[in-house]
Structure 1
Amino acid sequence: MTPLHFTLRQLQVFVAIAHHQTVTQAAQALAMSQSACSGALKDLETQYGIQLFDRVGKRLQLNELGMRLRVDAEALLAQAANFDQQLEQRPSGGQLNVGATLTIGNYLAVGLIQAYRQSDPEARVALSVANTAKITQALLNFDIDVGLIEGEIHHPDLDVSRWRSDELMCFCAPGHPLAGVTHLTDEHILAARWIVRETGSGTRQTFDRGMHGLLPGLHVELELQHTEAIKRAVEAGLGVGCLSGISLRDAFARKSLVPLATPQRDFTRDLYIALRRQKFIGPGLRRWLNICRDQANN
């Protein structure tokens, strides 16, 4: 068997510096001295006669080779952690870091976490909630293990698969002048004051696509980053909104908001599961993915 010329510790240092972009912060994260951390990186680069980082100001930024190797290093370390878990016969796969866009994070993720914890009470889940653009960046930076997203993304370093279907719905307050109309015409849409999600969110992406042909004439009164803030603003009579039907069920049941039919507009969309390419699928992540797919089929 050919001997290896690197150690797992060197890989940990390489990945930590890639993440934090400074030796000081990487050393703190690994509970190492700064000199030991710097020395481990120097030894790794010297052994292979390579350079993995460029110095940009006070930060170390991955060069092209470093970016390519980081993917494999992350996968190797994940496999090593899984092997360590099996050697110690620990039932839990450690902490799973999940990223979810706002509708999924606020209205679907709790049920997924509950099912995940039922399958392994010792399992831990850290949930980050943000818009599609930020979840995508977190995946690319290895900050999270898996992303559940509303927006369509196309990136060569990500594997994106369809998870489940969803549909946006337009709505207003019960006292709004449009509350009594049978359906919104294009004239109604252009006359309304809209309260919508911010650019970069999957909901806004679907809204803009559904309003194709009318976008230049739309009156966008407010752009807000949170679905609950949009619902409160619409309830206060500040305008008309458009959000996922998942987020509106309770408000419709209470009749604090009323749906507005838009038969001539297509607001259907898919929700997606996104993973880093070459991501190591350990038992914890595999269990999470299975739960997501099971719940989507129910």
Structure 2
Amino acid sequence: MDVLAEVLESMRTGRPSSVRTDGYAPWGLGVKGSGFHVVLHGGCWLVPLDGTAPTALGTGDVVFLLEGGGHLLADDPATPASEVTAKWLNPGSPVGTLAFGGGGPRTRLLCGRYHLDRARRPPLLGTLPEMILLRAGGHPELTAAVGLLGSELDRPRCGSESVVTALVDSLLLYILRAWLESSDGSWASALRDPAVSAALTAMHDDPAAPWTVESLARRSGLSRSPFAKRFAALVGEPPLTYLTRWRMSGAARLLRESDVPLSAVAGGAGYSSEYAFAKAFKREYGVAPGRYRRHAVTP
């Protein structure tokens, strides 16, 4: 199981969407939520609404932003946001287009939106920055994915909605992988470290297994104490704490998205007793599993 993809999937609460955006100067677009922007033609400014300095974006640049306080995309930092609405392929479709502004030079953007539950951000994503900026060039796989997505938005065809959803998911992975390969943060170090990565892969492959620090250390090729110290330093918490949180994350997803019996949810999380599982789940989420299921809402 791919640890990076699994961790991202644990945060996602709805399907992504993507809009081809044409802004004609003067133009300004207010954006909230997690997502990405790719400059396909021309240039623009990204202006955070928290007062942080604006960033100039040029053709081929890619930027990913967590929700933060929102931001403005505009031909000039001084241009205010306009009230605009995307034209969707179908009601509820993840495929859309947007054209607005004055009669000046055009900037074409590819904008994607993700629904990420930041309140349940896994420890591995604790060092994920509010903004990842990848300048044009140097990321051929990302460039190829952008081209495919742009093609689907330019000419929607049979199956485009499913293709766009898959490509937007892939684009996020490409963005984060490109950042990961150039980052020295603890998350990047954890996934690159052979010992810690081996333990993470084992837990993600089989979260219900009766893992102990000793058995995970054997998977990592280290003795118990050095492994535990290295794991905690890079991941941000001890191995079994991470395992419990990951088990509860998977259980919460099952409770939200399925009607699987509680006994099966408990078993999938490594608990033979529903009572023990319910106690652990309530400690993590603050409510019993049954109540969580009744009140869970997926956007």
Instruction: Give TM-score scaled by structure 1 length.
Output: 0.27
Kindly indicate whether structure 1 or structure 2 has the higher relative contact order, using CA contacts under 8 Å at least 6 residues apart: 1
Instruction: Give TM-score scaled by structure 2 length.
Output: 0.27
